[in-house]
Amino acid sequence: MLNDNRALVVFSGGQDSTTCLFWALEQYDHVEVITFDYGQRHLKEIEVAKEIANELNVKQHLLNTEILTSYNANSLTNNDIEIDSSNDVPNTFVPGRNMLFLNIASIVAYQIGAKHIVTGVCDTDFSGYPDCRRDFVQSMNETMNLAMDLEFVIDTPLMTLNKKETWQLADELGQLDYIRYRTLTCYNGIVGDGCGVCPSCKLRADGLEAYLNEVGRK
């Protein structure tokens, strides 16, 4: 029932998920993406995801999951809360987000016959988000397989990579400039290199600088 050459990418239009999309397009014969409108700070994120999916001629499933906003008080879904990364778990963490996303993704993957679900979570760049850890992903994978009596595979191509290595992968895929200038990772909603101030932009910029220095490019 599940096709080993079909994949569904959890896709936000950010650096990591776009890198995963290009990775999946090289790995599998048929790729679709799933994007979630969960009441995030910037609708621009959804616009960027739509634009990239259209440019790459990839079918996109856009789902509303605003229940995450209704029951969560965090800076990623509430503009009135200032972004704060000083605690062990930053207030940009949206409790249950990746759990819900992967659960819904498995339902869509079931319907389209995709054995592979691709997500850009990363253990190495773990920022205090417990739902980015390898243990969590493995647990979700087992739960999905038990719930549907199938053998989904959650692919995490970035799991062991730091940001410098993620940029390296983008370059190896021939898409470094595209990912740099077309994606939206910035918490303040600025496409490309972003605001340069928020934690997400700093992590992204530091990784890019380290990679370009390593290969002797600017």
Q: Which residues are annotated as a binding site?
A: 11-21, 186, 195, 198, 201
Task: Count CB neighbours of 156 within 10 A.
Answer: 21
Distance CA 175, CA 192 (A): 13
| Nearest to 24, CA basis, from 35, 10, 9 | 9
| Nearest to 120, CA basis, from 109, 129, 111 | 129
Q: Which residues are annotated as a binding site for Zn(2+)?
A: 186, 195, 198, 201
What is the rounded (10 degree) CA torsion for 207, 212, 213, 218? -120
Q: Which residues are annotated as a binding site for ATP?
A: 11-21
Helix or strand (DSSP H, E) at 161: none
Strand order in the sheet with 59-64: 59-64, 30-37, 3-10, 114-118, 153-155
Query: Phi and psi dihedrals of 169, rounded to 5?
Result: -60, -45
